[in-house]
């Protein structure tokens, strides 16, 4: 039922009490949001100066629909009666009216607004089931029942009443729906409850990740979600000594430190996914001692770090020979172009041409999956070109057959 067409009346203005109701008779529901004392004080000061402009709204049986803070301001002022308007609404309609008033009049955090919108959606679609996805239940004999009186969808109706776009409404609902109840309670009275970008990131994580991230922020260990992710990534790895021995084939995907050359808002910055290393630390690794006199190095790098890669190649005792290009099909953000490739540099020490003379295409188009994970097809190419000799993968994520693996994520 539209509020515009709802039957309403104001308590008799000609009664001895001038259109008011006893405050003690007003029934306040249990689902009321917490009182904001500073807001009540401002209302009380305003009422003392100019009176109450907008009466509270109640049902015929005195259940409060809207005006909870106004009611509290009157109580604070020591009043016993308050001006009121009666609306003849069902319980659901009364709750919807209350929600609408809160969405329009009160300053809400992003989290609170999302929770009100989520409840509004539930009530609105219960009142107007024909607006839900799928429409009304099927009629006898098959087919959907015709909509005899078209109603606006929840998103349309809410956008009209709040003045917000459908996208903003949907994002706020996603926050309230997908952040776990436990996490919402922990952040409710913190600054995080009003940081929409961070809340959306939380909503896209699983509940266990949400809990860990929020604990870091609440404890003061982290300031932002990105900072918390970086701390957690560091905690999930272990220090590992380089192995002894000599290797003919070395495969490396260093944890490059990008600095400002990647966009953290895109969620792809490397140091938010795993602990990174500065260039001098990567160069200082004793990889030269691992390499046999005749060895080959396959080194992963990206366009922003291509020049730095040669510092590593030289420090490890190798010379650049050729490269593969991984066409990742999907694009990443970049400052100068839309990036969809990485380089696998081929470098040698001594004499180490391939055992197999087969020439693979230098460009391999393989759709990327999770952040930083390299396609297994490249290891297969390496194994085919260099089938003999001991081999090691540096900065490995997981063990591989017939390979030694070194890395703090193995």
Token pair listed for 326:
């991984």
- pLDDT computed for residue 262 by the predictor: 46
Q: Return the closest-CA partner of residue 186 out of 211, 160, 166.
A: 211
- CB-CB contact of 248 with 389 (8 Å): yes
Position 149 pLDDT exceeds 50: no
CA distance 398 to 395: 9
CA distance 17 to 131: 44
Domain ranges of the chain: 1-90, 247-406
> CB under 8 Å to 163, separation ≥6 — which residues?
none
Position 186 pLDDT exceeds 50: yes
Topology classification of domain 1-90: 3.90.1530
Position 79 pLDDT exceeds 60: yes
- pLDDT computed for residue 249 by the predictor: 98
- Phi–psi pair at 150, nearest 5 degrees: -55, 135
- pLDDT computed for residue 133 by the predictor: 66
Quick one: average pLDDT of 25-53?
Answer: 85
Q: Return the closest-CA partner of residue 356 out of 245, 251, 249.
A: 249
Q: What angle do CA 103, 104, 107 make, to 5 degrees?
A: 70
Q: What is the 3-state secondary structure (H, E, C) of 365-392?
A: ECCCCCCCCCCHHHHHHHHHHCCCCCEE
- Phi–psi pair at 200, nearest 5 degrees: -65, -40
CA distance 102 to 18: 27
Place 239 in a pLDDT band, splitting at 50, 70 and 90.
low
CA distance 401 to 12: 86
* CATH number assigned to the domain with residue range 247-406, chosen from the 4 options 3.20.20.70, 3.30.420.40, 3.40.50.150, 3.90.180.10: 3.40.50.150
């Amino acid at each position: 039922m539209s509020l515009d067409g709802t039957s309403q009346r104001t308590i008799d203005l000609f009664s001895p009490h001038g259109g008011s109701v006893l405050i003690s008779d007003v029934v306040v529901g249990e689902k009321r949001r917490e009182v904001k004392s500073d807001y009540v004080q401002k209302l009380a000061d305003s009422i003392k100066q100019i009176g109450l402009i907008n009466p509270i709204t109640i049902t015929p049986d005195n259940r409060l629909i809207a005006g909870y803070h106004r009611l509290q301001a009157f109580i604070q002022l020591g009043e016993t009666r308050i001006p009121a308007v009666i609306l003849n609404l069902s319980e659901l309609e009364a709750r919807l009216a209350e929600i609408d008033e809160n969405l329009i009049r009160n300053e809400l955090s992003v989290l609170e607004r999302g929770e009100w919108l989520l409840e509004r959606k539930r009530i609105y679609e219960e009142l107007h089931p024909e607006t839900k996805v799928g429409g009304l239940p099927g009629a006898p004999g098959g087919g959907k029942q015709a909509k005899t009186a078209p109603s606006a969808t929840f998103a349309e109706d809410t956008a009209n009443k709040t003045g917000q776009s459908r996208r903003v409404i949907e994002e706020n609902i996603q926050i309230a729906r997908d952040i776990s109840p436990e996490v919402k309670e922990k952040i409710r009275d913190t600054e995080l409850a009003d940081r929409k970008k961070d809340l959306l990131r939380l909503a896209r994580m699983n509940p266990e990740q949400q809990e860990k991230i929020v604990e870091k922020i609440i404890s003061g260990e982290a300031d932002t979600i990105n900072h918390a992710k970086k701390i957690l990534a560091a905690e999930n790895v272990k220090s590992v000594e380089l192995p002894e021995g000599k290797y003919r084939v070395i495969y490396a995907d260093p944890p490059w430190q990008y600095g400002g050359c990647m966009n953290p808002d895109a969620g792809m910055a490397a140091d938010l996914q795993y602990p990174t290393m500065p260039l001098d630390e990567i160069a200082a690794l004793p990889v030269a001692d691992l390499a046999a006199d005749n060895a080959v190095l396959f080194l992963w790098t990206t366009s922003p770090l291509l020049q730095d890669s040669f510092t590593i190649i030289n420090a490890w005792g190798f010379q650049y020979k050729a490269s593969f290009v991984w066409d990742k099909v999907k694009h990443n953000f970049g400052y100068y172009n839309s990036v969809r490739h990485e380089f696998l540099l081929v470098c040698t020490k001594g004499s180490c041409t391939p055992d197999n003379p087969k020439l693979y295409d230098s460009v391999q188009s393989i759709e990327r999956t999770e952040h930083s994970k390299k396609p297994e097809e490249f290891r297969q190419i390496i194994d085919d070109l260099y089938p003999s000799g001991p081999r090691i993968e540096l900065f490995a994520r997981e063990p591989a057959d017939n390979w030694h693996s070194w890395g703090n994520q193995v």
